[in-house]
Amino acid sequence: MPVIDVHNVSKIYNPETIPVYAVNNVHLHLERGEFTALVGPSGSGKTTLLNIIGGLDAPTEGQVVINGTDITRLTPNQLIQFRLHNIGFVFQSFNLIPVLTARENVEFIMLLQGAPKAERERRVNELMAAVGLSDKMDVRPAQLSGGQQQRVAVARALASKPQFILADEPTANLDSHSATNLLDMMAQLNRDEGMTFIFSTHDARVIERARRVITLVDGSIASDTASVDVAAGHK
C-alpha cells in the first residue's frame, strides 16, 4: 500500500469568479522509502501540492490518503494531531524556534507528543549525533549557520518518528557546501533508515539526487520519472 495516495486533487482559487488552478487534477502514489522531488517553475503548484499532502492546506477537490487515513475528512484539530504524529516538516526558512536551543528545538516536537523525559533525552542525543551536531546541542539558532539550522530542522522532523518528511525548498537559502552536506545527510537517512523524503525544489543538486522526479506545470503533472540507476542501487 502506498504511504501517500493523492486522488484527483485540485486546488482552485476564486472558483466562483475567475478560477485559478494552483493544482489541477493531480493523481499520485508515493511509496515508503522514496526520495522524491517535486519540481517545476515558480507558480507551478509544487508548494501548494506539498502543503495539501502535509495537511496544511485543503484541496478544493479530491482526496489525500496517508497510510489509509483520508486527511481531507479530518477536522482542523484532528489534522494538527495527525501532522504531529505522522508528518515531519522542513521548511525553507523560519524553521526553528529562535528562543530555544538546538536540543530544545528537537525535543519540542516530542514534548508536544507527550513523550517521557528519558525517551526525549535519548532520542535528542541520537538525532543530534545523526545530523552531526552533537557539539551544538545548547546553541540557539541565531548562532548556527544556515546549513546547521536546516540539519537541526531535519533532526526535529525525525524526532516525531513520522511516516515521511516534507521538505519545502530546504536548500534554497544554503551555500553550495552546506546544501551538499544537508543532502548527503538526508540521503543517508533515506538509505539507512528508509525514511521517505519528498522535496519541493528548484535546486538542481536536489533533483540530481532524487530517485523520482515529478514535474509540475500549471498545477498538473507534466512528467513523473524514476532514476533507474539509483533505484536499482537502492534495491
Partner 1 sequence: MMLLLLAWRNLWRNPNRSLITMASVWCAVVLAIAMSSLQKGVFDHLVANVVSFYTGYVQVHRVGYHSEQTLENSFLLTDSIQNAVLSSPGVASVTPRLEAFALASTGEKTKGCLVTGIAPESEDRVTRLRSKVVAGEYSGDSSQRILIAEGLAGRLQTGVGDTVILLGQGYYGATAAGKYAVGGILHFGSPDLNDQLVFLPLALAQHWLDAPGLATTLVVSPGRPADTEANAALLRAALPADFETLTWQEMMPDIYEHIQTDTASGAIILAVLYLLISFGIFATLLMMLAERQREFGMLVALGMKKWQLARMVMFESVFITLTGCLLGILVSIPLVWWLNRHPIRFGGEIAEIYERFGFEAVFPASLAPSIFWNQAIAVLVIGLLLSSYPVIKVLYLKPVEAMQA
Residue ranges binding partner 1 (CB under 8 A): 51, 54, 56-57, 77, 80-81, 83-85, 89, 91, 94-95, 97-100, 108-109, 111-113, 156, 160
3-state secondary structure 92-139: CCCCCCCCCCHHHHHHHHHHHHCCCHHHHHHHHHHHHHHCCCHHHCCC
Helix, strand or coil, per DSSP, at residue 7: strand
| Residue in the block written with cell 486522488 | 7
Comparing CB distances to partner 1, the nearer of 110 and 133 is 110
Nearest CB to partner 1, comparing residues 160 and 212: 160
Instruction: Tell me the closest approach of the beta carbon of residue 75 to partner 1, in angstroms.
Output: 12
Q: Which is nearer to partner 1, 27 or 85 (CB)?
A: 85
Per DSSP, what are the bridge partners of residue 213?
A: 37, 225
The neighbour count for residue 65, using CB atoms within 10 Å, is: 18
Of 156 and 212, nearer to partner 1 (C-beta) is 156
Which SS3 state, helix, strand or coil, does residue 64 take?
strand
Contact in structure between 214 and 200 (CB atoms under 8 Å):
no
Nearer to partner 1, 35 or 108 (CB): 108
Give the whole-angstrom CA distance, residue 121 versus residue 75. 32
Going by C-alpha positions, the residue among 177, 170, 175, 173 that lies closest to residue 151 is 170
Which CB, 5 or 57, lies closer to partner 1? 57
- Min dist. Cβ of residue 99 to partner 1 (A): 4
Q: Confirm if 181 and 104 have CB atoms less than 8 A apart.
A: no
CB of 230 to partner 1, least distance (A): 30
